């Protein structure tokens, strides 16, 4: 029913943005992680959003969001010469993560703004529903 | 009698329903602001309201078995895709600022209809009580 469905939609978007914030936090936390092998290096993660389409005849007006998967970045992994590092390989190299800090910061701001706008949507809808309940009083 | 009351409430009962539906559409647009390939939708409010008040059916003619009705809801035929001001690389046509403004505009108009209805109900109550 109309306004009640907005809570589902805004809620789904809020949880999707939370996942996005979580991946940003993981990426930033692991930005300085190094590994002795190229395969072991930390790869930046990103969620993929997709719209949930309802079956024909259902309520097409409300379109919630879902996370259809988490993808790992295929950006190049840096190799650093650091023979003192305990993880260094036999040639003295360590492999760093491919996290781009600037990208992550921009992602974080975008995610929190989207989260805020969805909170606003849910709040407004709640207020409208409460006003409707008081109709005629 | 119920017809008289319907007429007394005028356009606001239908307007309220359509406003709620439009709010749902705009809320979905905002929720999908970061979804690749999502196309923003909106309601052609004027056309939907004039159809709703004229009691006109917006259903398509089903001349064959298996023809699908777009939606069983009010104003279903008047849901249109928005023309983006600026296209984005991921195919998403949601402009968050525009949607936010339309959402709050829609909320204010919903409240306006509510206020009108409230006033009418209070008028009726006064008439019933005869105070």
Nearest of B113, B87, B109, B93 to residue B28 by alpha carbon: B93
- Chain B: residue whose CA lies nearest to A6: B24
- The 10s digit of each residue's pLDDT in B88-113 is 899 999 999 999 999 999 999 999 99
Residue among B35, B103, B125 whose CB faces A50 most closely = B35
Test B31 with A48 for CB contact under 8 angstroms. no
Neighbours of A36 (CB within 10 A): 16
- Chain B: residue whose CA lies nearest to A68: B35
- Given this model, what pLDDT does residue A47 score? 94
- Given this model, what pLDDT does residue B26 score? 94
Test A61 with B25 for CB contact under 8 angstroms. yes
Test A9 with B110 for CB contact under 8 angstroms. no
Test B96 with A56 for CB contact under 8 angstroms. no
- The Cα–Cα gap between B127 and B131 comes to 8
- Given this model, what pLDDT does residue A48 score? 94
- Given this model, what pLDDT does residue B32 score? 93
Q: For chain B, what are the domain ranges?
A: 7-57+71-129
- The Cα–Cα gap between B88 and B94 comes to 9
Mean pLDDT by 10 residues, chain A (137 residues): 85 95 95 89 93 70 89 90 89 92 95 95 94 86
Q: For chain A, what are the domain ranges?
A: 2-133
Check: complex ipTM more than 0.90: no
Q: How confident is the prediction along chain B (131 residues), in pLDDT tens digits per residue?
A: 567 777 888 888 889 989 999 999 999 999 999 999 999 999 999 988 888 887 655 556 677 777 766 554 555 678 889 998 888 899 999 999 999 999 999 999 999 999 999 999 999 899 999 87
Which residues, in sequence order, are CB contacts of A8 under 8 Å at separation 6+? Answer: A62, A64
Test A118 with B125 for CB contact under 8 angstroms. no
Neighbours of B8 (CB within 10 A): 11
On chain B, the residues whose CB falls within 8 A of the CB of A65 are: 31-32, 35
- The Cα–Cα gap between A118 and A21 comes to 15
């Amino acid at each position: 029913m109309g306004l009640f469905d907005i809570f589902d939609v805004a809620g789904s978007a809020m949880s999707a943005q939370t996942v996005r914030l979580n991946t940003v936090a993981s990426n930033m936390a692991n930005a300085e992680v190094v590994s002795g092998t190229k395969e072991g290096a930390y790869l930046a993660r990103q969620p993929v959003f997709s719209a949930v389409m309802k079956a024909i005849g259902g309520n097409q007006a409300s379109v919630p969001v879902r996370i259809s998967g988490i993808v790992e970045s295929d950006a190049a992994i840096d190799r650093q010469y650091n023979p003192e590092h305990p993880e260094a390989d036999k040639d003295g190299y360590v492999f760093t993560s491919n996290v781009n800090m600037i990208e992550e910061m921009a992602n974080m701001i975008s995610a929190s703004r989207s989260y805020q706008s969805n909170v606003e949507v849910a709040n407004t809808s709640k207020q409208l529903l409460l006003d409707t309940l008081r109709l005629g009083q | 009698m119920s017809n008289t009351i319907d007429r007394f409430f005028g356009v606001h009962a239908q307007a309220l329903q359509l406003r709620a539906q439009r709010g749902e559409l705009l809320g979905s647009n905002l929720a999908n602001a970061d979804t690749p390939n999502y196309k923003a939708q909106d309601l052609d409010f004027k056309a939907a309201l004039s159809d709703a008040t004229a009691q006109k059916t917006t259903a398509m003619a089903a001349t064959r078995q298996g023809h699908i009705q777009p939606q069983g809801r009010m104003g279903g035929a008047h849901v249109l895709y928005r023309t983006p001001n600026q296209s984005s690389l991921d195919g998403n046509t949601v402009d968050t600022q525009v949607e936010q403004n339309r959402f709050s505009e829609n909320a204010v108009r919903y409240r306006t209809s509510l206020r009108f209805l409230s006033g009418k109900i209070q008028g009726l109550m006064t008439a019933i009580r005869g105070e």
